[in-house]
Amino acid sequence: MADIITSQLSPSQTRVIDPILSNIALGYKNAQLIGETLFPRVPVLVSGGQVLQFGKEAFKQYATRRAWGSDTGRISFGYQGAKYALVEDSIEIPLPRELIRDAQQVPGIDVASIAINMGMDVISLQLERDQAALAVNAANYDGSHKITLSGTSQFSNAACDPDPIIDTAREAVRTSIGRYPNVMVLSAVAFKALRRNATLKAHFQYTTAASITEQMIAQYYSFDKVVAAPAVTSDDAGNFSDIWGNNAIIAYVPQQNVSMINPSYGYTYTMAGHPMVETPYWDPKAKSWVYGTTMERAPQLTGITAGYLLQNPN
The string of pLDDT tens digits covering residues 148-158 is 999 999 999 99
Other CB atoms within a 10 A radius of the CB of residue 313 amount to: 27
> How far apart, in Å, are the Cα atoms of 110 and each of 101, 154, 280, 296?
11, 47, 15, 26
pLDDT value of position 16? 36
Task: Identify which has the larger pLDDT, 93 or 79.
Answer: 93
Q: What is the average per-residue pLDDT within 83-92?
A: 86
Average pLDDT of the chain is 82
pLDDT over 70, % of the chain: 76
pLDDT value of position 108? 66
Question: What is the pTM (predicted TM-score) of this model?
Answer: 0.81
pLDDT over threshold 90, residue 118: no
pLDDT over threshold 90, residue 104: no
Task: Identify which has the larger pLDDT, 100 or 89.
Answer: 89
Q: What is the average per-residue pLDDT within 305-310?
A: 94
pLDDT interval class at 263 (50, 70, 90): confident
pLDDT over threshold 80, residue 115: yes
pLDDT over threshold 60, residue 78: no
Residue 81 burial (CB < 10 Å; 0-12/13-18/19+)?
A: middle
pLDDT over 90, % of the chain: 45
Q: What is the average per-residue pLDDT within 273-298?
A: 89
Contact 271, 47 (CB under 8 A): yes
List beta partners, residue 94.
290
List beta partners, residue 139.
none
3-state secondary structure the chain: CHHHCCCCCCHHHHHHHHHHHHHHHHCCCCCCCCHHHCCCEEEECCCEEEEEECCHHHHCCCCCCCCCCCCCCCCCCCEEEEEEECEEEEEEEEEEHHHHHHHCCCCCCCHHHHHHHHHHHHHHHHHHHHHHHHHCCHHHCCHHHEEECCHHHCCCCCCCCHHHHHHHHHHHHHHHHCCCCCEEEEEHHHHHHHHCCHHHHHHHCCCCCCCCCHHHHHHHHCCCEEEEECCEEECCCCCEEECCCCEEEEECCCCCCCCCCCCCCEEEEEECCCCEECCCEEECCCCEEEEEEEEEEEEEECCHHHEEEEECCC
At 24-65, the pLDDT tens digits run: 555 556 668 899 999 999 888 888 776 666 655 555 555 566
Contact 240, 233 (CB under 8 A): yes
pLDDT interval class at 21 (50, 70, 90): low
At 154-190, the pLDDT tens digits run: 999 999 999 999 999 999 999 988 889 999 999 999 9
pLDDT over threshold 80, residue 74: no
